[in-house]
Amino acid sequence: MFKKVLVANRGEIAVRVLRACEERGIAAVAVFSEVDRSALHVRYADEAYCIGPAPSRESYLCGDKIIDVARKAGVDAIHPGYGFLAENAGFAAACADAGITFIGPSPEAIEKMGDKISARETVARRGVPLVPGTGPGLHDEELAAAAEQIGFPVMIKASAGGGGKGMRVADSREKFAGLLASARREAASAFGNDEVYVEKLIPNARHIEIQVLADHHGNIIHLGERECSIQRRHQKLIEESPSVAVEETLRQEMGRVAIAAATSVNYVNAGTVEFLFDSRDNRYYFLEMNTRLQVEHPVTELVTGVDLVKEQIAIAAGRRMRYEQADIKTNGWAIECRITAEDPFNSFMPSAGTVVYLQEPTGPGVRVESSLYRGMELNLYYDPMVAKLVAWGETRAEAILRMRRALHEYRIGGIKTSIPFHQEIMDSTEFIWGTFDTGFLDRRRMSRSPKSGSDAEQMVAVATALLAHEEGRQAVHIGGNHEPVRASSPWKQAGRLRAVRGRL
């Protein structure tokens, strides 16, 4: 096992990895920019080194500075977290050249899956289903002709994209040229590469992803799915595991396809294969593979009992995975809310300031991963996510009720946060029923108070959750010859819900 690991990141994910290192008995090194000198991850680490000014391009994105620190500190390995250099093939290769283990996949796997067009072509050779779309190297006129042939609406997507950047929806021929130019400009600015491609837009789809783990000894498993359809501008805000839309047979099938996609690039370590799922006909299509740890990994950890970060470290050290597919069983349900320093009542404008008060929720089934502490100065240089709140329950209904309770307990003073937004979603009947899709947030507006809708609607939502909770527990098995015991589907609650509404 490694003796010392450098965490090339900041915020809550840096703290998460530092904790895993401590549990493994590994000395941990942090890096920080000048404005992060008093950050929580700096305080937590055994050693910490400044790597430059506040802008990430002069600090957290400077791979050469980080490797210089790694050499100086005498580390064995570097964990990139997510964001920044986590999916940078050049950085992974530079680590190898420096004799330092990169805790993640090979540079070749990162490069192949990092280019969305290349990823599509690679996984298609393994029979992975794709959304109808274009190949590489097409000029604007060729892309316009392809969009006509595919049929509007279409999605214009950056080949080197991520995080919703370089993406545009074109619903007509007249709008296509302007949106294409806009997507190219944004892609060039964000990724230094203006290549884009066109995909058929699947309306009312759900975003389902499969977590995979693979070691250097040829073992690869999946750990079930995560539902990631609650999104704003293609950015995930709420995730859960498992998904109400995925039945056991489909779960096993998507797991096998995800493993095939990962195997196509000889993948090693933790990764996530993302799909668009059309619940109208139970068809799913490959979106991309994220060659890193995901923000939403805690929901998988809570329902499977697998510590993904510690497994990442062990795999990178050359150890054989402790798990086979038959060992992976899901217990209960987990939901994650991303807490951001944004004002949901003002178009999610970023919020900066001093954290003057902090009360984090606790109690059964509640987990908080945070970078905040009282007295902390929050700046606007980096991603606005400051914490992740995760709730687990024996059923989805119990997980929702616990999340509602935890959000009510969460107090952050001095800055605006997205907590009221999450409270509103937890009270939404569409969310509680599980009938949402990626267009959910486009169809609703944020109210001017933490609670939305009439009192009767809120009571109906709570009653629905309670009814589902009373009707049984769920035990989903991802491996082995186990029969799933499922709670009644929220879709089947309609008759009872009408009766409850009548009494209200």
Query: Could you list the active site residues?
Result: 292
Q: Are 446 and 428 in contact (CB under 8 A)?
A: no
Q: How far apart are CA 125 and CA 318, in angstroms?
A: 29
H or E element that contains 366: strand 366-370
For residue 483 the two structure tokens come to: 């029969």
How large is the average pLDDT for residues 96-121?
95
Phi, psi of 326 (to 5 degrees): -65, -15
Q: How far apart are CA 235 and CA 229, in angstroms?
A: 9
How many other CB atoms sit within 10 Å of the CB of residue 68? 14
Distance of alpha carbon 444 from alpha carbon 417, whole angstroms: 19
The C-alpha atoms of residue 263 and residue 126 are separated, in whole angstroms, by 9
> For residues 220 and 257, is the Cβ–Cβ distance under 8 A?
no
- Helix crossing, 455-470 with 494-503: angle to 10°? 130
Q: Are 262 and 286 in contact (CB under 8 A)?
A: no
What count of other Cβ atoms lies within 10 Å of the Cβ of residue 318? 11
The pLDDT value given to residue 64: 98
Residue 400 CA, distance from chain mean position: 19
400-439 confidence digits (pLDDT tens): 999 999 999 999 999 999 999 999 999 999 999 999 999 9
Residues 6 or more apart from 240 whose CB is under 8 A from it? 226, 227, 299, 333, 334, 335, 336, 396, 399
Ordered structural domains, the chain, with CATH:
4-103 (3.40.50.20), 132-200 (3.30.1490.20), 206-470 (3.30.470.20)
pLDDT of residue 160: 83
- CA–CA separation, 117 and 197 (whole Å): 7
What pLDDT score does 165 carry? 82
Residue 227: burial class (beta carbons within 10 Å; 0-12, 13-18, 19+): buried
109-134 per-position pLDDT tens digit = 999 999 888 999 999 999 999 988 99
Tens of pLDDT, residues 202-233: 888 999 999 999 999 999 999 999 999 999 98
- The edge-to-edge listing of strands for the beta sheet with 154-158 is 168-170, 154-158, 196-200
The pLDDT tens digits for 339-375 are 999 999 999 999 999 999 999 999 999 999 999 999 9
Q: What rounded mean pLDDT belongs to the chain?
A: 90
- Rg of the chain in Å (alpha carbons): 22
In this structure, how many other beta carbons lie within 10 angstroms of the beta carbon of residue 327?
Answer: 15
Query: How much is the pLDDT for 203?
Result: 84
49, β-bridge pairs? 31
Q: Residue 128, CB half-sphere, CA atoms under 13 Å: how many?
A: 28
**What does the alpha-carbon distance between residue 277 and residue 232 come to, in Å, rounded to a whole number?**
18
- Please give the Cα distance from 257 to 127 (Å, whole number): 8
Q: Could you please report the per-residue DSSP string of 331-365?
A: ESEEEEEEEESEETTTTTEE--EE--EEE---STT
For residue 434, CA distances in Å to 243, 398, 489 come to 9, 14, 9
pLDDT band at residue 504 using 50, 70 and 90 as cut-offs: very low
Q: pTM of this prediction?
A: 0.87
The region of weakest confidence among 43-52, 99-108, 267-276, 475-484 is: 475-484
User: Are 70 and 78 in contact, with CB atoms under 8 Å apart?
Assistant: yes
| 476 Cβ neighbours under 8 A, 6+ residues apart | 224, 242, 248, 251, 329, 330, 484, 486
